[in-house]
Amino acid sequence: MQTVRGVGIGLRRALAEALFTSDAPEVRWVEIHPENYVSRGGYFRTMLERAAERWPIVTHGLTLGVGAVEPPEAGYTRPLRALLHELQVPWHSEHLCFSGTDGVMLHDLLPLPFDEQAIDTACARIRELRDSLELPVAIENISFYAHLGTPRMSELQFLLEVLERSDAKLLLDVNNVYVNAKNHGFDPRKYISSIPRERVVQIHVAGHFTRPDGLVIDTHGDAVRQEVYDLLEHTLRHAGEVPVLLERDQNIPSWEQLHAELRRLDEIYQRATGVSWA
Amino acid sequence: MGLVDQQRNAQAVCLRSEPPQQALAQLGDRRGWLVYREMVRTRLRDEVELGLRRSCRVAGQQAVTQTLDRYLEQVPPRTRLFREVACHFGRTVAPWWKADASLPAYLPDLCLYEVAVWEVADLDDRNHPEVVELAFDRPPVLSPALRLLALGHVVHTQPAADGGYTAEPCFLAVHRPADDRMVQPWRLNRLSYDLLCLWQAGGVSVTQAVQRVGQAHGLPVDATFVDGLCTVLADFIEKGIILGSLGAR
Ligand SMILES: [Fe+2]
């Protein structure tokens, strides 16, 4: 199993060449979406092999949202398991959300109702996934723009209940906490301080965008904001030495700009955790 | 309301050509769910327009919008693999476009050709059985990164000055050589196309396929035929379309 420390970046086709050819010692691992590599040849396979030669890899799924009413089909989890074991990932993460029902796949991350039935469903999916992948499973807190029905508890209570009852790990997306705090009116630092630090295995940071009507959207297509860097520092002081990933999926800037963000994240990581690479 | 009904409501708001008012009312957060509707539809449309760039340009914004509305409402994607969405859309809507007299007659062929190119770029070329040197009494093994198309327009070339494509039977092998990112179309004659189709289906030796195809076309399998066949086979082997013969199992 690979050891993952420090700052990583999401492997994307649009930035892969720059990543491979640049000298960026701040990048200590990469994250992939396994759906983009399962049973795939061509450029994506080559890209993955090049990345795996150089860095530890962590996998972050996009379609096994643990709020799905139906368990996932073995036709997908079997090749997924094979890929994860081939890459020797330390854990696999999915989102605390659903992405469709009755066999339809919307290819988006939709929020769950914050209630008992959704908690039970998520816990069942997490246990099944852990069993079929034979790996620790982490879930990510999503950004959400609507409630599905009347909430019976806060998003934080919902997340903590699922973590506790399923014994899952947490991929804590700091930008999502920030976005949700803005849209739904809570204190993001209090939210993060309430999370048991031993649950957190990985952190995400990304950029967001504020619409003219004030709604904040998690885009993965903008630079990381100062408020999110500050919240990351708070998170690392609370959670300790947890690897941090920069997510950038759209509107990919120059490598110099991305590299500057990675350097900044690495500085925060070292300062907040007391780790020194030197 | 149970979890599955809540999810069905959310899904209907995202997929129906008009968001159902009852579902929106039951979900309770109108603005938020319309944001999700927009996000879901935009993401899927962007992917379709990326994979089927030329077809969408020919169809035009309005036809793409209408087709996508119908697609999402009637046969939404079920695949987990995002890269397959454009292929699923293209294969689903090509017959719809064929039935629509207001669209160019070559559009369904262009669409199926783009689907094949998009798909072949990602096929796993290593996913094939063990191969030995080509022998006539064994089934040949074809490259897994291969799609065979029988079209009615020559859509793999540049369009004519008026933007259209010549209407005539056009048989294509859309192929990606091993370790190569570039997908290439090869135009085939009817005989070669039929042979490759038989071999791709599997279980048929070189000789058996030649006999069947010769018979179907009313051609005598004589020295001239075999000469021509050897040239074609050598060409397919050189291009990496035929990898060899199926090894002992
Ligand atoms: Fe994230």
* Domain ranges across chain A: 7-273
- Amino acid at site B124: D
Map residue B141 onto helix, strand or coil. strand
**What is the least distance, in Å, from the CA of A63 to any CA of chain B?**
6
Determine which of B1, B3, B87, B181 to mutate to test the interface with A (most A C-beta atoms within 10 Å).
B3
B35 CB neighbours in chain A (<8 A) are 145-146, 215, 217
User: What angle (nearest 5°) sits at the alpha carbon of residue A230, between those of residues A227 and A233?
Assistant: 150
Which chain B residue has the Cα nearest residue A97?
Answer: B7
How would DSSP label each residue in B76-108? ----S-GGGHHHHHHHHHHHHHHT-TTS-TTHH
pLDDT grade for B225, boundaries at 50, 70 and 90: confident
H-type alpha helices, A135-254: 155-166, 174-184, 188-193, 226-239
Give SS3 for A156: helix
Phi, psi of B132 (to 5 degrees): -120, 175
What is the per-residue pLDDT across B17-53, written as a single tens digit (0 to 9) for each? Answer: 999 999 999 998 999 999 999 999 999 999 999 999 9
Q: Tell me: the pLDDT tens digits for A211-245?
A: 999 999 998 889 999 999 999 999 999 999 999 99
Among B10, B47, B82, select the one facing A110 at the smallest CB separation: B10
Q: Is the CB of residue A102 less than 8 Å away from at least one CB of chain B?
A: yes
Answer yes or no: is pLDDT of B239 > 70: yes
pLDDT beyond 80 at A207: yes
Instruction: Please indicate whether, in this complex, the C-beta atoms of A106 and B11 are within 8 angstroms of each other.
Output: yes
B153 at A interface, C-beta within 8 A: no
- ipTM confidence score: 0.95
Cα A142 to ligand 1 centroid, rounded to whole Å = 7
Largest CA distance in chain B: 77
Residue in B with minimal Cα distance to A219: B39
Q: pLDDT digits over A44-87, tens only? A: 999 999 999 999 999 999 999 999 999 999 999 999 999 999 99
Residue B149 bridge partners (DSSP): B172
User: What is the architecture of the domain spanning B124-249?
Assistant: Alpha-Beta Complex (3.90)
Whether the pLDDT of residue A111 is over 70: the answer is yes
Q: How far is A43 from chain B (nearest CA, A)?
A: 6
Residue type, A200: V
Q: Is B80 on the interface with A (CB under 8 A)?
A: yes
B 114-143 residues inside an 8 A Cβ radius of A: 121-127
What was the pLDDT predicted at B163? Answer: 86
Closest CA of chain B from A148, distance in Å:
6
Tokens of B176: 């990606």
Residue B249's pLDDT is what?
59
B2 touches chain A (CB under 8 A): yes
**Residue A128 Rama label (left phi>0; alpha psi -120 to 50; beta):** alpha
Least confident range from A25-29, A235-239, B123-127, B178-182: namely B178-182
Confidence of residue B240 (pLDDT cuts 50, 70, 90): very high
Residue B178 pLDDT > 90: no
- Whether the CB of B46 is below 8 Å from some CB of chain A: the reply is no
Quick check: A58 and A89 in contact, CB under 8 A? Answer: yes
A272 residue type, one letter: A
- Three-class SS state of B41: helix
Ranges A274-278, B3-7, B98-102, B150-154: which has the least confidence: A274-278
Answer whether B102's CB lies under 8 Å from B58's CB: no
Give the residue-averaged pLDDT of A27-45.
Answer: 95
pTM: 0.95
Q: Which of A39, A106, A118 faces B124 most closely, judged by CB atoms?
A: A39
Cβ burial, residue B67 (10 Å; 0-12/13-18/19+): buried
CATH class for domain A7-273?
Answer: alpha beta
Tokens standing for A88?
A: 């020797």
- Does residue A170 have a pLDDT over 70? yes
Which tops the pLDDT comparison, B224 or A19?
Answer: A19
**What's the mean pLDDT in A161-173?**
98
Spell out the domain ranges in chain B: 1-122, 124-249
Contact indicator for B138, B205 with CB cutoff of 8 Å? yes
